[in-house]
Amino acid sequence: MIKTPVYMDYHATTPVDKRVIDAMMPFFTEHFGNAASLQHRFGWIAKEAVEIARKKIAKAINAQPREIIFTSGATESNNLAIKGVAHSLRSKGNHIITTQVEHKCILESCKALEADGFRVTVLPVDKNGKVDVDDVKNAFTDSTILLSVMFANNEIGTVQPINEIGKVCAKKGIVFHTDATQAVGRIPIDVEAMNIHLLSFTSHKMYGPKGVGALYVRSKNPRIALEAQMDGAGHEHGLRSGTLNVTGIVGFGTAVQIAMEEMDEENIRLFWLRNRLQEKLMRIDQTTLNGLSVERLPNNLNITFHNINSDQLMTEMNDIAVSAGSACTSEEIGDVQYSHVLHAIGLNGEAGRSTIRFGLGRFTTEEEVDYVADRINNVISKLRTFSAVGVL
């Protein structure tokens, strides 16, 4: 018997793993010290817990612990990376490059910098949401200081050619930032081998708590200098002032450790479940898969059900949690926005508003996949029948 509602919106957020909760619990009550209070044992314990988590998180991307800066989440990390580099390197240039399919916090940060006198080039992507490395090369100018390209897209799952892009940036001496929010814990990442200078990610996408994230800042070859975006007592090497969320950081570290230990086995399972769901849904008439079929997040599926309004579809199947796009762009309940990512890959407004994103995860079962596929098939048949007879 399937327990409803069935959750298939793991790109928006994930439930906290019980093992993560167990690791966090003592830091709510017993070990509640401030990690900056180093005059007594409570502070020492908190500080040690933070540094243990920092090591776990650094190890996951082949970074040094000192290169991990804790933030409130990926949005803050992205803002700190984009604005911090721009302001730090302003004397060397004022040109920033990004792509059409970035998260809104990247695009909005770039807009804010444009208002401050910076020039921004937004590169197009192909029909699968992939940026052309030649377009990246051709966009470079003598004043280019930063390139920001998302590692794996949060809507259509497309994985970008990060290795090639990193090599180009290293050769040109341009700072390379990637928003790896959806990638860490799902795709092997090596910031050294990939020539990544700045990398953003967050806890709640990998079965950790909300409200805590991290920014990797390369410390050598080359050392990346950032201008802090928040004034205060100079926590986190002066880059992010504010009392550390010790409990959240402990959970974050545990979540990353679990994700890395189980990634290979979990990816095999998720590939299989995703492909099973995809095969069943693509049997429905007038459906289109969005994004790459291979170079794609293992748990992502984005499908357009043509001539079906996604808002109406989700209303009819309210026992299933899916999404019509990024959770970060939803303005109010039931208000389905035409995704800028879908627009960038060539979908018109009608097709964009007929698209559903499925995000599978650690607790998704085969039975749930089959249930979702059957429910969607039945609901779409019903909606199309009603439409044909003029009821809708």
Task: Return the active site residues.
Answer: 328
C-beta of residue 288 within 8 angstroms of C-beta of residue 305: no
DSSP string, 285-331: SSEEE-S-SSSB-TTEEEEEETT--HHHHHHHTTTEE-BSS-GGG--
C-beta of residue 13 within 8 angstroms of C-beta of residue 236: no
* Site of tokens 């429905």: 284
Joined together, the tokens standing for residue 37 give: 């209070």
